[in-house]
Amino acid sequence: MEDSQIIDLYFARSEAAIAETDHKYGAYCYKIAYSILGSREDSEESVNDTYLSAWKAMPPRRPSVLSTFLGRLTRNISIDRWRTLGAKKRGSGEMTLALEELRDCVSGEKSVEDTLILKEVMGCLNGFLRELPEEERTVFLCRYWYVNSLEEIAGKTGFSAGKIKSMLHRTRNKLGKHLEKEGLK
């Protein structure tokens, strides 16, 4: 079924929308959740919460790209669940490791100033990502958006885990310099 048809089912308030979403995007959402949570049960709950959130958001919202919309919902729900459960006790630790790698580029401490410039930082980050060569952008997003392990990224890209680690290190350095240049670090 086409995405526009699935979205139309949501707008018609048809329960078939959930079934069709699960059929087409269930594995995709589960993979995102599992990469963050590392637990089958918690990942399944996050996916179910994704469907509920999609049900509540449509209507009035009509996503232009359903997969991206569902991926973002799944990622945010899974990160919230990860925070609640405690990363040290649960999961494969990839989320903790990925956040540690980015710590030097982007501070995790929240202040009033951080809250006020969050939108500016996100715009700057999106601009930075658009400027990256496609291979670097893919590796960066696989690691820090989808929270894939180095081995998973290597399997997807054909690069060695060592090359992936090196690419990520260089890209984080570029990001740090970019944020400094923009006055955001």
CA-CA distance, 80 to 164, in Å (whole number)?
27
Same domain flag for 99 and 56: no
Same domain flag for 104 and 68: no
Task: Name the phi and psi angles at 41, rounded to 5.
Answer: -65, -45
Domain boundary among 42, 64, 85: 85
CA-CA distance, 147 to 152, in Å (whole number)?
10
Same domain flag for 23 and 98: no
Query: Is-above-0.75 flag for pTM?
Result: no
State the total domains in the chain: 2
Domain boundary among 42, 66, 85: 85
Domain encompassing residue 167: 94-181
Q: Say whether the peptide bond before residue 59 is cis (omega within 30 degrees of 0).
A: yes
Q: In the predicted model, is pLDDT for residue 173 greater than 60?
A: yes
Same domain flag for 63 and 42: yes
8 Å CB contact between 99 and 91: no
Task: Give per-residue pLDDT as tens, 121-158.
Answer: 778 888 899 999 999 999 998 898 888 889 999 999 99
Domain of 115: which CATH number?
1.10.10.10
pLDDT of 93 reads: 57
Same domain flag for 61 and 78: yes
Same domain flag for 98 and 152: yes
pLDDT of 41 reads: 94
Burial class (CB in 10 A: 0-12, 13-18, 19+), 64: exposed
Domain boundary among 51, 85, 119: 85
Q: How far is CA 11 from CA 4, 8, 26, in A?
A: 10, 5, 20
Q: How far is CA 26 from CA 12, 30, 98, 100, in A?
A: 21, 6, 24, 29
Task: Give per-residue pLDDT as tens, 82-115.
Answer: 877 764 454 455 666 666 666 666 555 555 555 5
Same domain flag for 81 and 101: no
DSSP conformational letter for 146: S
CA atoms within 13 A on the CB side of 66: 23
CA-CA distance, 65 to 26, in Å (whole number)?
16
End-to-end CA distance of the chain: 45
